Structure 1
Amino acid sequence: MPIGSSIKINDISIYYEEYKHPNALNTIVLIHGFLSSSFSFRRLIPYLEKDVNIVSIDFPPFGKSGKSLKFSYTYANIASTILELLDTLGYKNIIATGHSMGGQIVLNMSIQRPEFIKKAILISCSGYVPRAKLPLRMLTYVPFIGRFIKLYLEKSGVEGNLNIVVYDKSIIDEKMIKGYEEPFHHNEIFRALAKMLRHREGDLAPVSLQSIQTPCLLLWGDHDTIVPLNIGNRLAYDLPNSSLVVIKNTGHLLPEEKPKEVYDEIIRFI
């Protein structure tokens, strides 16, 4: 059973879950994607916890972590906050695993502390997305912008979004819908999302990616319509010490759709 805790780092509450293995030498850190939380790894963790220590983190403003309007929601700051959390918890030999936007955070962690991140696993990792244009960033200063963001996200609803991000629609059930829906019952997240849109720098440029020497495993679904496979191919080209594995008949939510296959590739890699 996980031990869920919250701790204040960089003036914001960070929620994390620990799955401790008595004999494991390595620790896998799980970092979810945009509009998600540690819930997205619920089907992968039961496989991994047999072999390694696990720390699954809700990065702000998502999940059960803080949504402070004073926090700077840049990739660089989120990455440094997670690194400080791991230092505080005393972990070493880190294998950092990021899904989607979480992959960009992992890459930033690898740049900031290359000696600390032993290996990186990038699952359907976002890439090459530029910073939001100035007019869009200026809109985030509009009063009640949080309400507009909430209305925009509610258009398709959680179930509609899940139908877009998974290949096998049969895995979508009430538990899955409720799990991805729960964080959005709290209105403070929408104002924080406006700040994230304002703060978020662009994804790492090729010159930065090419400087990363950390061994990287890239895992991709062949039917990913959110971050298409061509992004995985570009990342595999730009990351000098990387390999790309494509999993068949799978969409964007690899840890939900093919947890056993993802586990097998991770264990082979580490």
Structure 2
Amino acid sequence: MDHTYKKEHTAINGNEIYYEFFKNDQASQTFVLLHGFLSSSFSFRRMIPLMTKKYNVLIVDLPPFGKSGKSIRYKYSYENMANTLILLLEKLNVNKVILAGHSMGGQISLNIAYLKPELVELTVLLCSSSYLPRMKKPLIYSSYLPFFPVYVKRYLGKSGLEANLQNVVYNREMIDEEMRQGYLEPFLHNEIFRALTRMVRDREGDLDQQKLRSIQTPCLLIWGEHDRVVPLSIGKRLKEDLPHAELVVIPEAGHLIPEEKPQEVMSVIEKYLNKVHA
């Protein structure tokens, strides 16, 4: 089996986008993996080896996270991020994909399926954030104050890495030094806090019920039974609003299911793919 592997930064839509592309010569399907808020493609590290055996896999750091650019001239709305990914796929000559989005990445996957349905064969939503409104106006106005990035940094620092990791997993014993470093690394550079300030301003509300109901793409919803970040009730609501959706709940799992239950997630995806293509 022949694989080619490419990783690079590429300028798209006014920002630097970092991606890694695993191409499998035997594969006919391409997965695009999109991570969550305050995360990076690091969160898929346990799923990637399982996927590259049978599929092409493109992992992307969504700006301003991970190794992607943190330009403060870029518009950090979900619609613009979705369009940036559509442009990246065009550049890579990929014209049909399976989107797998975790948390915020799920909401961006839904935006892509809404904006360019012909590009998406299937959407896998892993504990996908949904139904969040836009930030409140006082916070948006405050984001124009010169010291606001410092406030963002302090706010994130106060909640602390350890507490955040404990909140996103069900089994806290799995938290080790590699995991701590992987999730801390993107926040060691001050540029991200200026970009997050723009994101406070730019992020529109999540897709509303009317837009969700117009998405005709098959959607597989996979949820951790004990998700404390995006509770299972959101998954159940999404299942009702998306016309072609199936919901699978993984027991003894929290929000970070690609890290916690990679094998289980993969087997649910494969089973669904077999059913859809039967």
The two structures have a TM-score, normalised by structure 1, of: 0.98
CA contact (8 A) 1:30 1:55 kept: yes
Aligned ranges for residues 1-16 of structure 1 at < 5 Å?
Answer: 2-16=5-19
Which position in structure 2 is the counterpart of 1:41? 44
Aligned ranges for residues 97-176 of structure 1 at < 5 Å?
Answer: 97-176=100-179
Q: How far off is 1:11 after superposition?
A: 1.4
Aligned residues: 270
Which position in structure 2 is the counterpart of 1:182? 185
Q: C-alpha root-mean-square deviation of aligned residues, in Å?
A: 0.9
Counterpart residue identity of residue 206, structure 1: Q
Structure 2 distance, partners of 1:58, 1:113, is: 20
Question: Gaps spanning 5+ residues in structure 2: where?
Answer: 274-278
Percentage of matched positions with identical amino acids: 53
CA contact (8 A) 1:147 1:190 kept: yes
Residue among 54, 58, 70 paired with 1:55? 58
Q: How far off is 1:26 after superposition?
A: 0.4
Secondary structure at the counterpart of residue 4 of structure 1: strand
Question: Gaps spanning 5+ residues in structure 1: where?
Answer: none
Q: How far off is 1:93 after superposition?
A: 2.2
Aligned ranges for residues 232-247 of structure 1 at < 5 Å?
Answer: 232-247=235-250
Counterpart residue identity of residue 46, structure 1: P
CA contact (8 A) 1:104 1:127 kept: yes
Residue among 204, 214, 219 paired with 1:216? 219
Which position in structure 2 is the counterpart of 1:194? 197
Q: How far off is 1:4 after superposition?
A: 1.8
Q: How far off is 1:267 after superposition?
A: 1.3
Secondary structure at the counterpart of residue 121 of structure 1: strand
TM-superposition CA deviations, 1:232-265 (whole Å, max 9, x none):
0000000000100000010000000000000101
Structure 2 distance, partners of 1:268, 1:69, is: 42
Residue among 97, 102, 126 paired with 1:94? 97
Counterpart residue identity of residue 189, structure 1: I
Counterpart residue identity of residue 93, structure 2: G
Structure 2 distance, partners of 1:201, 1:61, is: 16
Q: How far off is 1:2 after superposition?
A: 4.7
TM-superposition CA deviations, 1:209-236 (whole Å, max 9, x none):
0000000000000100000000000000
Post-superposition, which runs of at least 4 consecutive aligned residues in structure 1 deviate over 6 A?
Answer: none
The two structures have a TM-score, normalised by structure 2, of: 0.96
